[in-house]
């Protein structure tokens, strides 16, 4: 999704930190995969938006 290995690693690290800080949030263990998937997806979208914003600021 990010197009670069380094960006993907940053997204994974960011998602891990977000999940760790909210580990008690998922009410049902059966929903964990959806919960963590949403965190990873949102971290990816945030990274892409930041990259786009930086490109606009520089160009």
Per-residue pLDDT, 40: 93
Asked if 2 and 11 count as a contact pair (C-beta separation under 8 A), the reply is: yes
Q: How far is CA 53 from CA 8, 47, 49, 58, in A?
A: 18, 10, 6, 9
Per-residue pLDDT, 26: 64
Domains: count for the chain:
1
State pLDDT tens for residues 2-34: 778 998 899 999 999 999 998 887 668 888 899
Per-residue pLDDT, 10: 92
Which domain does 45 fall in, by range?
Answer: 5-58
Asked if 43 and 11 count as a contact pair (C-beta separation under 8 A), the reply is: yes
Q: What is the pTM of this model?
A: 0.75
Asked if 13 and 38 count as a contact pair (C-beta separation under 8 A), the reply is: no
């Amino acid at each position: 999704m990010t197009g670069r290995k380094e960006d993907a690693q940053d997204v994974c690290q960011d998602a891990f930190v977000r999940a760790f800080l909210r580990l008690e949030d998922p009410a049902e263990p059966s929903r964990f995969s959806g919960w963590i998937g949403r965190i990873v997806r949102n971290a990816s979208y945030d990274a892409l938006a930041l990259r786009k914003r930086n490109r606009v600021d520089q160009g």
